[in-house]
C-alpha cells in the first residue's frame, strides 16, 4: 500500500481555513457587544486573585469556559466538525472506556 505514504495532514482536514475564519467572523459579529464584557471579566480575574478571592476567580473562569464551549463549540463549530458536538461527549467516553467482552 504505497499510496498511504502520499497523504499529508492537509488531506484529513474536514474544512478549509477560509471556512474556519468565516465561522469565527460570523461568531464574533453575532456576539459583538459581549466582547467588551469579556474584556472586563478578563481584567477582573487578576484583581480577584490579588484580593485573595481565588474561589470567585475560579468560578468566573469556569463560567467563561462553559460559555465558550456552548456558544462556539456547540452552536457554531459543530456545524463544520461533527466531533465537536459536546452533547454526545459522555456517550463517546463511555464507549471508549468499555472493555471488550464485558458489559
What DSSP state is assigned to residue 15? Answer: S
Q: Maximum CA pair distance of the chain? A: 62
In this prediction, residue 59 carries a pLDDT of 92
User: Cα–Cα distance between 8 and 62 in angstroms, integer?
Assistant: 36
Count other C-beta atoms under 10 Å from residue 43's C-beta: 9
Q: How many CB atoms lie within 10 A of CB 77?
A: 21
Q: What is the pLDDT of residues 39-68, one digit of tens each?
A: 999 899 999 889 888 899 999 999 988 988
| % the chain with pLDDT above 70 | 78
Q: Quick count: other Cβ atoms within 10 Å of Cβ 57? A: 18
Instruction: Summarize pLDDT for 1-44 with one digit per residue, the tens.
Output: 677 788 888 777 777 889 889 988 998 899 899 889 999 998 99
Instruction: Give the CA distances from residue 93 to residues 7, 10, 90, 101, in Å, rounded to whole numbers and listed in that order.
Output: 29, 27, 5, 17
Enumerate the H helices of the chain as residue ranges: 17-30, 34-50, 54-68, 89-97
Kindly report the pTM of this predicted structure.
0.60
pLDDT class for 91, splitting at 50, 70, 90?
Answer: low
pLDDT at 100 over 60: no
Amino acid at each position: 500500500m504505497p499510496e498511504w505514504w502520499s497523504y499529508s495532514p492537509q488531506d484529513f482536514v474536514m474544512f478549509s481555513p477560509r471556512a474556519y475564519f468565516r465561522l469565527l467572523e460570523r461568531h464574533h459579529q453575532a456576539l459583538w457587544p459581549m466582547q467588551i464584557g469579556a474584556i472586563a471579566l478578563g481584567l477582573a480575574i487578576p484583581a480577584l486573585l490579588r484580593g485573595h478571592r481565588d474561589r470567585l476567580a475560579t468560578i468566573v473562569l469556569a463560567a467563561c469556559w462553559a460559555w465558550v464551549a456552548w456558544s462556539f463549540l456547540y452552536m457554531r463549530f459543530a456545524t463544520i466538525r461533527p466531533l465537536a458536538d459536546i452533547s454526545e461527549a459522555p456517550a463517546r467516553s463511555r464507549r471508549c472506556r468499555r472493555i471488550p467482552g464485558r458489559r
